Structure formats: C-alpha cells, structure tokens
A and B are shown apart, each in its own frame.
Chain A
Amino acid sequence: MNELMTVTLYLGVLVLAAWPLSRPLAALMSGTGLSKRGSSIDRVVLSLFGLKNAPGQTAPQWVTTLLTFSLLEILVLFLILGLDGVPWELSLNTAVSFVTNTNWQNYAGESTLSPFSQMVGLAVQNFLSAACGFAVLAALVRGLVCKESQDLGNFAVDVVRFTLYVLLPISVVYALFLVSQGVVQTWTTSVTVQTLAGTTQTLALGPVASQEAIKMLGTNGGGYFNANSAHPFENPTGLSNFVQMLSMFLIPAASVFAFGRVVRDRRQGISLAVVMTLLFVLAVGLAWWAESSVAGSATGNMEGKETRFGIFPSVLFSAITTSTSTGAVNAMHDSYTALGGLVPLALMHLGEVVFGGVGSGLYGMLLMVLLTVFVGGLLVGRTPEYLGKKIEPREMTLISIALLVTPVVTLLGTAAGVLWPDAVKSLNNPGPHGFTEILYAYTSAANNNGSAFGGLNGNTPFFNLTLAAAMFVGRFGVMIPVVLLAGSLAQKRSMATTSGTLPTHTVTFAVLLIFFLFLLAALNFIPAWSLGPVAEALGGAF
C-alpha cells in the first residue's frame, strides 16, 4: 500500500512540476523566445554568442551543424581527459559517452579524474548533450507544425537558449538544495576520517552537488563517484532520492505537455503522457513483484541495495533511470533477481520512450507514433497522416532507419561481445547471467542510457572501443534521420482533419501504440531475453 502511495505521490508531484515548465519549453520548442519581456535579454544573450539574427536552417544544414559540433565536443573532451593521463581507448569511450548523453563510465570518477576534468570536461557535456537532444526534438516538432517550409530553426540558438534558460537556472537551485541535504561541494579532493572501528579511512570529496544536479536533470547519469547515486555524498537522504527521481522525469514529462501546446492540441501531449505513465507503472509493478517476492526470504532481495533506501525506492529509481536515458543508479542492477533485472533491460529495449531522455525520449516516442499511425492509417483506409502531415515513402524510409538503428546496434554489439574470446574474462558470472551482463552493456550503450548492469569489466580496449561505437551510432544514427524527417515533414502541406482521419488522442490509438511498442521490442529481443534473464529465471543449466 505504501508503495502505491509513493508512486501516486511521485506522479502527482511530477505533473504539478512538469505542467508549469511545459509553457516555457513550448516557447523554446516552437522557436520563439521565452516571453515578450524576455525578448530584449534574449537579443543580448544571442548577440553575445554571435547568434544575433541567426538564420533558420534547412535539414541538411542542421545535420551538418549538429555533427560538426558533436565531433568537436568529442575531440575537446578527449584531449581534456588525455591531460589527466587517461588511456586513449578509455578517453575516447568517455568522450563519446558524455557527448552522446550516455554517460557510460568505464572508470571510477573519484580515482581516475581530476575535479577540473569533471567540471570543465564532463559537466559541460552534461548540459550540452541534453540541449542537443532537446534541439533535435524541437526540429521534429517544428517539422510537424510548419507548412510548406524548409526552415527548422537554428541549432545553435536552440542549444544556447535551452542551456541558459532551462538547464542552468534549475541546476543552480537544484544544486543548492542538494547541498542542503548533505551532498558535498568542495575543491578538497579527499578527507581522512577516524572510523568507529578505530581505523582511518580516506573519503573522496569534490564539487559534487553542481555536477549531481545536471546529471539528473539532463538525464545524463554520469556520477562523480563510481557508486553513483548509491553513494551517500551524491544521494544522502530519502528526500534527495525522491527529488533525484523527480528531476529525471521533469524535463521529459514537461516536453510531452509542451508538445501538446505547440501542436495546438493538448490532448496529443496528454494521451502520450498517459501511455508513458501506464508503461511506467507496469514496469515498476513487475520489478517490485520480482524483487520483493523472493522464495524463502521475508525481506525480499536486498543484495546490492542501499539499506538507507530499501527495495521499493531502489526499484522505482531503476525503472526511472532506464525509462529515461539517465542511467544513474542507486542500487546494483546486477544483483537484481533475473526478472527484476529484465525490467530495466526491457525498458531500454522499448527504446527509452517512457518519458525517455531529454528530447530523445519524445522524438523516440514520436517515431513509434508515426509507425503506429502508418499501420493505423491504413486500417481506416486513408494514406496515413499524423497531425495533418502525410507519411509517404521518404518519411517511412527515415522512420524505418531511425527505428532500426538501436536494436541492430544492440544485437550486433552483443554478438560481437559474446564472440570476442577475451570477453569471458571481463565477466563476473557465467551462464545466462553472464550473457545478460553483455547484452545489458550494449543495450545501455546503443540506447545512450549509461546504466551498467555491473558484473562486466568494460575497461578493456575491446569493450571501450565497441561500446563507444555503439553509443555513437545509437545516438547519431537516430538523430540524423530524425532531423531529415523533420525537414521532409516541414515541406508538406497540412491536410484537413475530418471524421475520416485517424484520431491520435483516443484510447483506441493508445492501445494500438502500446501494442506496437510491445510487439516491436518483443519481436526484436525475445530470443535474447530467453537466453539471458528468462533462462536464468526458469532455472536453466546453472
């Protein structure tokens, strides 16, 4: 009962926080400044970045800017990490990881990196990668809204505005709140304390709170400490845990509502939010059932969980972190029961569309919506159209590529991982569980989640490089077709809505959408699930 109340409270607070935020997000999404009053400030800010009167971009220009910018970021971050003496394969992996909003970490932050690298290198990317995701979403929404135009807005303007007007102010307040809860924020790198047992212990410190805020808000997930949000200096109290969970869903949920505002039909946003919520509650319920009802144990499965939090907050956290592309953890997913571990895996295999990452969650969901509209449109005897835009061969090609990339990268990566002769040496566990560890790694990388199942030592040249490749292709292999799709949609005229049009805000459509979401994830991954978590749960050979 307590658990139900927690979820209800969580979702209630989420809606209360996300709804007001959706108004400024809608303004940014549609490409206008924040408000009439803010427009003079906006002009000053943009001219500071040399973006005064920046022209709108066509889809190809957009893609070029996005790629150039991202490759440049990877290069800069690669060099910064090199200054800390990080081996080049690990530097590359980490650089790609933070630029792609993945934040997969094959290193321990407190022992491998200096506070400078963490702040100037990683934290900056935490802001920019989230802003890039939002910018791509904005381009797609503009493509759906505007008529017979080529103008998708300006990439740089979107990144600057979203960073300065949304991410930065919230992060500042958020960081101060975290400090109040006991998250450390200091230039001192360590402190030596006398433990109760009478021995001395060196505790790592650093500018954690400032980084922790954007880590959660930007659905990044790369922790200052190796233990991530399980570490008491990153996530000290029940309240900080609650707020961290809230902050992961905040911008993605607000984006969904903002989408409804921009397309001038709030029902479109609300119905997507309802679908996402349903999937989320289902996932939490399954994981909670799997973790709490362990045969022969009154307490359930406590292995790998913080006693400060207990089972349910851990389960809830893990569902949120894999629904979004955050990947922060407050418990070890590797220690979950087989089916409990399947839940985060499956949430990523759904495409991280249950609210999802900043920007990426909604554009991922919209891709699924477009696919559903395509089949649903045929079912009602019309050339499929979404929000008045027809889905024709060119759109279908781009939607297909964008939806194809992630599962293909996941499966091929996992295949490479299991075929690599030395891979077994990186595994903690044999059998189906070992298979799940590799599957989870490539799933997390290809979906830009960044959470680690654990139990896999990824810091080998093979894993560093293949996972970096998976993260890169998983990010830009989706973003590029999405922007081109936006360009293609933008050029279309908008069809009028009649009672012959497939309505996309109804219960029937929601059912169809969920049906296709499950079907696609299941068809792609049922064989892999059977050999991993399912085989383990059903008591295979081990």
Chain B
Amino acid sequence: MRDTLVQTFAKLHPREQLRNPVMFTVYLGAFLTTLLGFGEPTPFVWSVTLWLWATVLFSNFAEAVAEGRGKAQAAALRKTRSEVQAKRLASPDWEAPFTVVASTSLKQGDLVIVAASETIPADGEVVQGAASVDESAVTGESAPVVRESGGDRSSVTGGTRVLSDRLLIRISAAPGQGFLDRMIALVEGAQRQKTPNEIALTILLVTLTAIFLVVTVTLWPFSLFAVQQAGKGTPLGLVSLVALFVCLAPTTIGALLSAIGIAGMNRLSRVNVLATSGRAVEASGDVDTLLLDKTGTITYGNRMADRFVPLEGVKLADLAQAALNASWADRTPEGRSILPLALAVPGVKEPDLSGPHRVHEFTAQTRMSGLDLGSILYRKGAPSSMAVPEAVQKEADQAARLGATPLAVGVDGRILGLVILKDIIKEGIRDKFAQLRAMGIKTIMITGDNPLTAASIAAEAGVDDFIAEAKPEDKLALIRQLQAEGHLVAMTGDGTNDAPALAQADVAVAMNSGTQASKEAANMVDLDSNPTKLTEVVLVGKQLLVTRGALTTFSIANDVAKYFAILPAMFLALYPGLAVLNILHLATAESSILSAVIFNALIIPALIPLALRGVKAASQSAAALLRRNLLIYGLGGLVLPFVGIKLIDIVLTGHFW
C-alpha cells in the first residue's frame, strides 16, 4: 500500500503523464488553475484546483494499484527462480566431470546434471534420462510429473525440483532471460506496450478531448460577444472554462484505461496462463474457432471401462466379478478403470487373496492378463487372443467400429462376455461447449480416430465439427483454411509437431509440460498444462474489451448531466432565462461547477474495482450482451451523474459553501 501511494505521486512526472494524453490535458489544466489561484485566491478557485489535482492523482492511483497487483504476482512467480548451485558438465555424458557453478552464470547451450532432490537451475531440454519432477512451485499442482528425453515431455522449467532419478539437461535460456522470465516481466507491467485496440481507443479519446478543447476555448469569444451585445456582465472566467473542459473530456475512461489493460494480464496470470504480449490477450477475445485435440482435452487421456456385455445366459454380476478378478493385478490405467465399474454392480466383492494365487501381467505375446485364484483361472484380453464364440465376436466388432475397445472376459477358458472400454468425455465439457456456442465460438475436434469413432465422440461431447484421421500437418492446413475464410483460430498444443500450427494460429496456448519448440511458437503458456483452459482465456480477452467499451460509454454519457450542471451556472448572469435548464436546482453557480468537478474526480476511484475486476462478459450472444451493457453503462451513465452531482451539491451547500 505504501508503495502504491509512492507510485501515485511519482507518476506526477511529466514524462509519465505524457503517456496518457487525456489525463495530460487535465494535468495542464490543474497547473493552469494553480497559477490562477495565486492571482485570484478565492475558495472557489482553490477548491477547483484541489479537485483537479485529485483527478490526476486518482488516475495515477488506479494505474499504481493495477501495477502493484501485477508486481505481487510477478514476485511470487519469480521466487521460484532463485539462485541455486548447478553441476555443469563438459560433455553430454553421465560420467563426465562436472564443475559446480552458480545458476546465474549458466549460458544457453550449457549441459547440467540434476540429481534427485536437486533444483533445476534454469529452463532447458532433457537430453538424457527420465525423472519425476515436482513442478508445484510453478503450477501449484502437487502431483509430480514425468520428464524424459525425446518426445513431448522433454522440457523442464527452472525452479522445479527433481524428485527421483536424475536428468541431463541442456540449458535453453540463460537464467533471467528464459521464456517464463520474459512473461513474468510482462505481468509486472515493466514491458507493457499499448495493444492495437487500446491505441485505437486512445485515438478516439484524444479526438473527443480535442473537440471538447475547441468547444471550451471557443466558448470564451462566444461569451464575450454575448457580453458586448448585452452591455453587461463579464465573459467567462478561465477557471470555469478549465473546469468545464475537464468535466467534458473523457477522463473516466482515460484515467482507467491502462489499469484495465494491466488488470487483464493479471486476470490471465491468475488462472495460471502467461501471455507473451497484451496483443495476444486482446486477440483471444476475438477468437471464433477453437481447435481442440480429442485426447486430453475433450476426453481423459486413457480409455476407461464403460459397460459390461454379458453373454446370453450369463449373469451380469458373474461377468463383473470375473472381470474384477482378472483385472485385480492389472497396473495399466485401462485395467484399473474396470475396478470401480465392476464394484458398482450389486453382489460383486473384492477377491480374497489370502489363499494361493498367481498374477499374470499383460504381455504383447499373450495379449492377456489375469489372475489364478486357487485352481480357478480368471482371464481378460483382446477377443482375437481368446477363443470367443461367434456371438461375442459380433458384439466386439460392432463396439470396435464405434471406436471402443472390447475386452473378452473368461473363467477357466469359458467366455462370460465383454468389457467395453471407451473414451470418456470429461465432465462439464458439454456445457462449456454450449457456452462457447452461445458466444459465437465454434469448436472443432481434432483426432487420429477413424471418422465413425470421431463422429460418435463429437456428438457426445457436443463439438460443432471434427476432423478425423488427422495428421499433424492437417492442423496447419486447417488453420490456414479457416483464417482465409475470415476466422480467428485458437488452439492448444504441446508437441514439437504442433509448433507450426501453433505459430500459425491467432491464439496459441502451449502446455508448460510441452516441448520448448511448442512454447516458443505459442503466444501463451498454460502453467497448469490444462488444455481446457482455452475457454477461460477467451473469456478474459472478451472481458478486457467489454470493460473498455463499458467505461467509454459511461464516460461519454456522463457529459450530458455535466452540461446541465455547469452551463446554466455559467450563463446565469448573462441570460437569467437559462435558469430553467438548471433542472437539478443546484444551489449556486460556483457550487454547481464544483459539484460537477468533484463528481468527475470521485467517479474514478469509485470505478477502480470494476476496472480491475472487469465487467462480466457472460456467455451470451453479441446482441444480448450489447443490450445488457448498453442499458447498464449507457443509461446508467446518463442518469448516475445527475444523482451524484445533486448529492455533492447538497453536501457542499449544507456543510462548506
């Protein structure tokens, strides 16, 4: 908090102010009235001056708060990247001699060896070995992950800890310059550059400011003319004109614009996604097509037992019990998935292993696994490896055609029936896709399965379209084709062969567990390596734009009330008839102008929470969203200042004026 306040005042430096053209004009106005205050030291002039400076400080404060939050997040992330000792090798050989150096002195291309319970000194690629690694420092996920050379799980992150075994790592980026370091700097706001949409909006705001400057500047000769014609009164004072200008200029959105941008990045990093640029965050709001890999995104990584198909005359409980026994010692995820399904069948019990028994592991030769319980032999395996009756074979073929994996279950060589394993759709994914559809976002599933399988999973998951029998290069071609049709495409990926497609996609989220190549090609990295998070990324992007739009509309709509407060007050002496326009019945000319200035200043801190939190971008169609936001921020923006200014005027006249 102290740091935020220091920043608030430090930002009064003209160089900082120049970065925000709208607020810079307020800053100049405040200087001007301060000077005028010395020449005309009235309570009115000094009050206006005070509140103009407050307006500038409130704007600084908004930015400082947003930056402060970013800094706190960055500090937390950076903590993982503290200095450690590294064992640098001369050659890629386990037995090569090593020298112990500080991690900060490592360079790209250096080879290091990391043994169990040691910390990985910097980002790198596993060259040799496999180990389980605790990445909780980066991802917050406590379950260890496997990192191994070759394949798509070869990338390691500095600051994570090897739990077992050891790794030979080639450093891919010097500490402090790694991929994550760059992203952390971005979260902190140190490297923040204005995004295209932010620039476009700034242009609009500058234009409005310029128009209002002309409106207020020309008002002086207009009033002079009126005075000359009337032969009485005085032309408008400079302080009143500055006050009018500041009230009209879009200061509300101008003051909060950069805070909104920083907060957008922060919201993204709070869901553990880091973006390489603000531009990428903005683009994610525009995405209208999502490419999703089936495995791991839409379905769980492994097939799971879905149902039992008993042979005619066989009781379901008998089949389930046999399947349970045959799978009891099975260590594969597919095998383990049979246990809960079987135990859910009434009458099925865990096998009694107190007696003599023998476990048969699955082998590629037998393509079977099982359990000998006493003299009873329980077996399960691919139907082709067991002598199955024709009826069973028919069932099995049909299941296989739909993409499921049938396993035959037998006792002492007699087939009881089938267990069907199939892809299981992740929970809640259907609803998520429905939400996306409402927002106008199309989902396309990519899978290597045959078209029949793909179709049945697509229908079950509720995706809009699918590409079956897809090869890695098909993704790139599909993205290019979609983009040529005018779509903005988002995808997730983790493999090296995903890299070209990631580079081509408009929004590309790489998994932190993925290869270095995929991360470099992407413009976002998900620290949790959760492919479904793409939907949250899209929402954050939308939220960012909606917040800007809402506050812009609100800011402009406010001006109507400010005119009604200030103009009658300004011209009352000249044209008493204009008193009719003082519909708020504000007390005096000075109290009305001051009330408008105070409202204009106070609305900024009042809206800081909204700017940081973001306006809700609900999953609904654009038309519905427009109606809702127009009502709240357009109509609200028209009405609220009338109420606010009146209240301030009451307080002012009651207590101070």
Contacts and interface: CB of A to CB of B under 8 A. Distances in A.
Interface string A356-383: 0000000000000001001111111111
B223 to A, nearest CB: 7
B230 A524 contact: no
Nearest to A376: B626
Contacts of B214: 407-408, 411-412
B553 interface: yes
B504 to A, nearest CB: 15
B241 to A, nearest CB: 10
B587 interface: no
A539 B550 CA distance: 40
A466 interface: no
A524 B450 CA distance: 64
A397 interface: yes
B438 A411 contact: no
Contact of B625 (A374, A380, A393, A418): A380
Contacts of A411: 214-215, 218
A379 B578 contact: no
A430 interface: yes
A524 B626 contact: no
Interface string B341-379: 000000000000000000000000000000000000000
A502 B440 CA distance: 11
Contact of A506 (B229, B557, B623): B623
Contacts of A539: 577
Given A374-B204, A383-B282, A523 B197 contact: no
B316 interface: no
Interface in B176-230: 196-197, 199-201, 203-204, 206-207, 210-212, 214-219, 221-226, 229-230
Contacts of B437: 499
B229 A523 contact: no
18 contacts: A371-B204, A378-B546, A379-B626, A383-B286, A393-B199, A396-B200, A397-B203, A418-B222, A430-B229, A493-B484, A498-B442, A500-B441, A502-B622, A508-B626, A509-B626, A523-B212, A534-B581, A535-B578
A379 B637 CA distance: 14
Contacts of B556: 519, 523
Interface of A: 371, 374-383, 388, 391-393, 395-397, 400-401, 403-404, 407-408, 411-412, 414-415, 418-419, 430-432, 434-435, 493-496, 498-503, 506, 508-509, 511-512, 515, 519, 522-524, 526-528, 530-531, 534-535, 538-542
A535 B285 contact: no
Contact of A414 (B200, B218, B230, B484): B218
B580 A538 contact: yes
A340 to B, nearest CB: 17
A431 B567 contact: no
B438 to A, nearest CB: 7
Contact of B621 (A415, A494, A500, A515): A500
B617 interface: yes
B626 A502 contact: yes
B575 interface: yes
Contact of A383 (B285, B559, B621, B630): B285
A415 B486 contact: no
B203 A379 contact: no
Contact of B630 (A404, A511, A535, A541): A511
Contact of A378 (B201, B203, B486): B201
Contacts of A401: 207
A413 to B, nearest CB: 9
Contacts of B219: 527
A421 to B, nearest CB: 10
Contact of A381 (B221, B485, B617): B617
B545 A501 contact: no
B207 A541 contact: no
Given A388-B486, A511-B630, A531-B571, A379 B546 contact: yes
Given A378-B548, A407-B214, A499 B438 contact: yes
A321 B203 CA distance: 33
Contact of B222 (A396, A408, A528): A528
A530 B627 contact: no
Contact of A393 (B196, B226, B622): B196
Q: Max chain B CB contacts within 10 Å: which of A403, A511, A526?
A: A526
Contact of A526 (B549, B563, B577, B617): B563
Contact of A496 (B206, B229, B288, B544): B288
B218 A374 contact: no
Nearest to A396: B200
Interface residues of B, number: 80
A412 B621 CA distance: 44
Contacts of A388: 486
B560 A522 contact: yes
B486 A494 contact: yes
B211 A404 contact: yes
Contact of B626 (A395, A493, A512): A512
B574 interface: yes
B476 to A, nearest CB: 18
Given A526-B567, A535-B226, 19 more contacts: A375-B549, A379-B546, A379-B553, A381-B625, A396-B204, A400-B203, A400-B207, A418-B225, A432-B229, A435-B226, A495-B486, A496-B486, A496-B487, A499-B622, A500-B622, A523-B248, A526-B563, A530-B567, A530-B578
Given A403-B207, A432-B226, A527-B215, A382 B486 contact: no
B514 interface: no
B592 interface: no
A48 B218 CA distance: 51
B523 interface: no
Contacts of A506: 623
A440 to B, nearest CB: 14
Contacts of A515: 630, 634
Nearest to A506: B623
Nearest to B546: A381
A503 B623 contact: yes
Given A408-B211, A500-B440, A382 B221 contact: no
A495 B482 CA distance: 10
B13 interface: no
A531 B288 contact: no
Nearest to A409: B214
B552 interface: yes
Nearest to A509: B626
A519 B541 contact: no
B282 to A, nearest CB: 7
